[in-house]
Structure 1
Amino acid sequence: MVILKIYNSYSSNRLIYFVKSDILLREKLDNAQKWGDCVLREEKKAEKRQELVGVCLGCFVEKGLTVTTTKDLCKAAKLQNGGIYYYFSTKEEIVLACAEEAISRIEKAAFGIVFEDISDIQSMMDHLGELADKMSPTMRFLVGVCVSREYGEKVKPSLVRLAARYPYYTGRIAEILGCTDEEVAPFVHLSILAINNYMIFAERALFDPQIEAVKKELSRLAERKGRNNR
């Protein structure tokens, strides 16, 4: 009889243990599912946010920084009024994200042309001129952000990060041309200055003389590399 009671007590405790273990396991699985769903939602939100940055940048470029309203942005993004604030906290956050995107587009397009066409200096400079025409509205939006009292100081870190990448590009160009960074650096910066000025002011007079000087010097460096490789 005593043995039976002990056995029943043992069986009961084991049953309670298994029930509790099952409950804990289910809770863990539920929490894991909730966490997974949360991660998925955040990933989709981030993807949508990046898509909206492109839409908003286009809207700012078309309408202008100072006159574009959040209502305009929501309409362009096909969201209900105020719906954009599900993805951004403030209009300032939208503007700064668009400025970062503008910097990225100009940088990737310009240096993409450089590294694709640098074997033909004339072609490279012609393509950079075409890019300047194409990206001029985007650059003017970016300048508007930079000179704005509201956003100017806050966009500076993005510009500083861009400037910090110039030595890397200079080094790659120098390597391709077979020269030192010091030889090519002034002409990289002169090209950047000329293209920026042209995108902002749309004046060939600010662009052509500087670009001609750059073409002449880069061609000389490329020819020197050719002679050294013979």
Structure 2
Amino acid sequence: MAKRTILRFVYFLLSWPMIMVALFCYLLNLGNVRLYYRQCINVIHENHTAYPQKLIQCLYFGEDKRGHSHLGVDYIGVFRAILSIARGEIQGASTIEQQFVRTVIGRYERTLKRKLLEQLLSHLICFSFTKHEVAESYLSIAFFGTHMKGVTSLYERLAPESYDLNFYAGVVARLKYPQPKKESQIWSIKHSKRTEWISRQYNSANKAFKSDSQHSALSV
């Protein structure tokens, strides 16, 4: 708990300059920030659907592990991504808010201008809605594969016999590896490994949480 509190404070210090810029751009509608922001809030109002907590947790473990600490932009992740690029590697640092914004406004060009716009909007959204609302809205519109836009369409196509951890982890794995129209062995292997990794993250975190809870109970 203390670690998360400190992390949140660090993120606040790192974020407040961009938050001020975001508010300034919104007031003057620079770069159509106000227009894009309204698009985002409309999508949240129209697509905010309740999903199982286990699916939401898998989403954070798979796509945004520090999601409950930052304010829309993971600047620690951004710094690490910059270092990885300098080493000739590719590492993403987009948060759930950023992925949501990107999906709504349909801007995918690889430019600094687009990335900055995405970050500004993510900060604004983070102050307007809860993390849970944004996560659920993102799941409702995200691309999971051919003919699978949004969790509902994925459910309809896959028609799973059971909704367990492995299934939910597999859903989130499709965000990184969208399911093609015709499954290939290469895709199946990548998807399977990603699913297993998310499941391990989930189990490890919950095991640690239970251990901390038991320790706290014994200390009382």
Q: TM class by shorter-chain length?
A: under 0.3
Structure with the higher fraction of residues in helix conformation: 1
TM-score, normalised via structure 2 length: 0.27
Larger Rg: 1
TM-score, normalised via structure 1 length: 0.26
